[in-house]
Amino acid sequence: MVGFAYGMYSLIQRAVQHAVVGPSPMVVKPVPPGTEYASVRALGEQMSRPGGMTSVDLVSFLQERIRTLDPQLKSVIELNPEALETARELDLERASGKVRGPLHGIPILLKDTIETTGMQTSAGAFGLVGTPAGKNAPLVDYLIKQGAVILGKTNMTELAGFRGGPDGWSSRGGQTRNPHHPDADVGGSSSGSAAAVAAGLAPLAVGAETNGSIVVPAAFNGVVGLKPSVGLLDRDGIIPASQRQDTPGPMARSVHDVALMLNAMSSDPEGPTASSGIDYTQLLVPGALKGKRIGYPATFTKDGESLSVENSPQFSKTLEVLREQGAVLVPVNLRLADASQYEDLLLSDVKEELNRYLVTREGLPVKSLTELIHFNDDRDGTETDHQPGLKQINTSSLTPQERKEGWDKLIQDFRSTVDDPIKEENLDAMVSDFDTNSYFGVAIAGYPGITVPSGKNDDGLPTGAYFFGTDRSEATLLAVAHGYEQAAQVSTKPQL
């Protein structure tokens, strides 16, 4: 985090330190060993024991861990000054016998595109630093109502990668590092969310994806990341790129914790549909893989060469684990749809939706994409082209009708690449080696996908198994991914 407005960061640090050690009725106790990598279930059990760890203890511990480790990782862009007070109130509720749900007292980090009161929502850009949003994004309120403690905001690839900088870098937050190795690819754009969870800075984080922005950093950092079906989760209050592609999604260290997050993010617990919501943990049971028909690519492309599955030892091992658990594996030939129009369509959407967002967001120094480009030029100079992505977006000239026609055709084509083999082979889900880049087409289709750690490569860096399926197949995907995770027993804790 040392890279963004360091003076501002120091002020935040001092405020948090005062909350921890200053005059306050809060009593902070040491947390049990291994708390930094404990599951939500384990944390909840500890907090439920008489005299056990409290939410205040946990939040204080993680704040100190962030202060110690994050100057190197730069995964957290801002801490919530109200986190300890929120934790104290939740501890009082628990002591009185009220527990809101599994996330009661559990700290969570949010990507810096998700609006929160009292903190910046800037997508890592100084041009979007100003008056905090007037209200939380709905999904933030859903999490808070379930008892989650908003710990802070995470760094990210600036403007979700649309500025044109390297993965994990933002002008406000600096360069996020992969906790497994500082020179390893951290992925983007939910880089900070993935790195922070991997480093044990928080048990849970929320990312957001247009194409690859959850599953890629999750895979590279060795955590679980779910990109839900487009439209499943509320996207209001999130800095947009394309409503045809955007979705928030949960990131954690286990499939079960991701499922708990999805439950909390799916609907307002006090709303009229609360009782009809799906419990995404219900199918996470032993033997979930037995009899499941899972397709996998007969060949995949790596470095421009078409290879068979035998050329990927890590993926071969993934298939072996699935087979041993009773899954029926079916090789399929995945058709690659034509993505030649994708970039033009996406950038045109970004131009319209980002401009609409900026003009309606109060208290920012810029009100349009053009003003943002000028702001960056004034701040960073014009000697080099430091924002090629934004300039390309600003030149987009597709009409709304051209975009609609192009998107309708493109999305349908990509959906058929997933739907057809699943229907023809009567599959429950599909799994791929991450080198196939299957996530790219799945994202265009608007379909769900989840990446789960599968081991480490020859360089000691995490690898991932990627499960995907058709629209609204999250419950099945979580069950399959959980079955794989429990059988594979992969540990990807970084040696910090």
The residues with which 453 forms a beta bridge, in sequence order, are 464
Q: How far apart are CA 221 and CA 185, in angstroms?
A: 9
DSSP per position, 348-405 = HHHHHHHHHHHHHSTT-S-SSHHHHHHHHHHHH-SSS---HHHHHHHT----HHHHHH
Cα first-last separation, the chain: 16
Please report which residue ranges of 49-203 form alpha helices under DSSP H.
55-73, 83-95, 138-145, 191-198
Q: How many CA atoms lie within 13 A of 195 on its CB side?
A: 38
Write out the H or E segment, with its range, that includes residue 247. Answer: strand 247-252
SS3 state of residue 308:
strand
Q: Give catalytic residues, as residue numbers.
A: 111, 189, 213
Order of strands across the sheet with 224-227?
76-79, 149-154, 107-111, 204-209, 247-252, 224-227, 449-456, 462-468, 429-433, 293-297, 328-332
Q: How far apart are CA 270 and CA 307, in angstroms?
A: 51
Write out the H or E segment, with its range, that includes residue 322. Answer: helix 313-324
Instruction: Supply 302's token pair.
Output: 């790596």
Q: How far apart are CA 429 and CA 27, in angstroms?
A: 48
Distance of CA 364 to the CA centre of its chain: 25
